[in-house]
Amino acid sequence: MLTATTIAAIVLLVLLFVQWYRGVWSGRSAPHPPGPPGDFLIGNLRQMPSSYHWHTFAEWARKYGPVTYLNVAGQPILVINTQKAAIDLLEKRAAIYSDRPRLVMIELSGFAEATGFLRMGPKHRKHRKILAQALHPRVVERDYVPLQERVARQFAKS
């Protein structure tokens, strides 16, 4: 039978291994933008303000630049502090950085294949192409506007 001390030691060793493993593998990926140094295991959790986040983020922007990287208890956070950086990352390079998180409840509800919840990939591109063709301004003007006018007239008559 394991004592409480033994269980605590095993849990601590597992946590240390996980932290080491993350550090080894994250070191092989591309470097992150600059940001405040974090603590062991919890990252920048103690540095995250509970209110008025923008004051802290503005201070970090002056110190670390327009894009700041944080790791809060294993969750990576990228703080974009300027409009120029936001446009560059979210518009000009959207194909590289955009994706949706995995939503388990959506999958369990059976909506994982719905266009609005698809993750980036061939199926997402196919759905977007079909939607772009169906919602093109010329198609809308040609097909949907007359339909809306007809239905509006029917509604007004009733």
Q: How far apart are CA 82 and CA 29, in angstroms?
A: 25
Tell me, yes or no, whether 81 and 53 share the same domain. Answer: yes
pLDDT by residue for the chain (158 residues), tens only, comes to: 678 888 888 888 888 777 766 665 555 566 888 988 888 778 888 888 888 988 999 999 999 999 999 988 888 888 999 999 988 888 888 777 777 778 889 999 999 899 888 888 899 889 999 999 999 999 999 999 999 999 999 999 98
DSSP 9-50: HHHHHHHHHHHHHHHHHHTTSPPPPP-PPPBTTTBTGGGS-S
Examine the domain organization and report whether 37 and 93 are in the same domain: yes
Residues 45 and 92 in one domain: yes
- The pTM of this model reads 0.50
Q: Do 23 and 67 share a domain, yes or no? A: no
Q: Write out the two tokens for 12.
A: 């601590």
Q: Which two tokens stand for residue 5?
A: 């001390």
Amino acid at 3: T
Contact 66, 101 (CB under 8 A): no
**Containing structural domain, residue 94:** 32-98
